[in-house]
Chain A
Amino acid sequence: AQSVTQLDSHVSVSEGTPVLLRCNYSSSYSPSLFWYVQHPNKGLQLLLKYTSAATLVKGINGFEAEFKKSETSFHLTKPSAHMSDAAEYFCVVSVGNDYGGSQGNLIFGKGTKLSVKP
């Protein structure tokens, strides 16, 4: 069975310091993994995705994530936090669909709320 665990429900950093949001997954197949960001009362925006190409994935707004199969992890990092990064972040794994395609259902982590202090 596929599952996603975000290890921290809340992370607080100071502006200009590094960000680390942790995600572990469980998947029977080679997974597609994603990080999404959600600002209050908004939809989810894709930050980055891993789909079995390069293991270090660069996304928007300076975020990146590294796929580590041996550790079943896909942690999200950013070298220097900005006030505008304060939001909720979701780690997501995609499983195959019933018709044999790659687009199927998404399994969401419970989210990590990032606070950025001035």
Chain B
Amino acid sequence: DGGITQSPKYLFRKEGQNVTLSCEQNLNHDAMYWYRQDPGQGLRLIYYSQIVNDFQKGDIAEGYSVSREKKESFPLTVTSAQKNPTAFYLCASMGGRITEAFFGQGTRLTVV
């Protein structure tokens, strides 16, 4: 069954800690994306990668980092430099002849 999987579903972070959100896809898609969602603000692009070993900053990359060592995986690290990390994070992928994005089920990160 092909799809895109985010884990964990819920994550709690203490102030000053780095945390890593996982995103894995078995759709053989080249492009992968991370979005942050806050109430009333829609989805904002954090980072994207259109090919393995390459990634680009989105609109709100400060305080975040990513890697793309494998086609299937695009983990997002929320660093201690991100001052307001509490949000819902969505990962997506796109590729081949398909023009739409496929989304994971999201990770809700809360700072405690």
Interface residues of A (CB under 8 A from B): 9, 32, 34, 36, 41-46, 49, 51, 90, 92, 94, 97-99, 101-106, 108-111
Tell me the interface secondary structure of chain A in the complex. Answer: loop
Minimum-distance CB pairs A-B, first 8: A43-B103, A110-B42, A44-B103, A103-B94, A108-B43, A43-B105, A108-B42, A32-B99
Do B108 and A46 touch (CB < 8 A)? no
Do B90 and A43 touch across chains, with their CB atoms under 8 A apart? yes
In the complex, whether B104 has a CB less than 8 A from a CB of chain A is yes
Q: Is the CB of A42 within 8 A of B40?
A: no
Which of chain A's residues have a CB closer than 8 A to the CB of B94? 103
Chain B residues within 8 Å of A51, by CB: 99
| Size bracket, chain B contacts | 20 to 34
A37 CB, nearest partner CB in chain B, Å? 11
| A46-B101, A103-B95 given; 18 more Cβ-contact pairs under 8 Å | A32-B100, A36-B103, A41-B108, A42-B106, A43-B105, A43-B106, A46-B100, A90-B42, A97-B50, A98-B56, A101-B50, A102-B99, A103-B99, A105-B33, A105-B58, A109-B42, A110-B41, A111-B42
B66 at interface by CB-CB < 8 Å: no
Contacts of B88 in A (CB 8 A): 41
- The reply to whether A42 and B30 contact each other, CB–CB distance below 8 Å, is no
What residues of B have a CB within 8 angstroms of the CB of A110 in the complex? Answer: 40-42
- Which residues of B come within 8 Å of A, CB atoms? 6, 30-31, 33, 35, 40-45, 48, 50-51, 56, 58, 88, 90, 92, 94-95, 98-106, 108
B50 proximity list for chain A (CB < 8 A): 97-99, 101, 103-104
Residues of A within 8 A of B51 (CB): 99
Closest chain A residue, CB of each to CB of B35: A108
User: Could you write out 22 A-B pairs with CB less than 8 Å apart?
Assistant: A9-B40, A32-B100, A34-B100, A34-B101, A36-B103, A41-B106, A43-B105, A44-B92, A45-B103, A46-B100, A49-B99, A90-B42, A92-B101, A94-B99, A102-B99, A103-B94, A103-B98, A104-B50, A105-B33, A108-B42, A110-B41, A111-B42
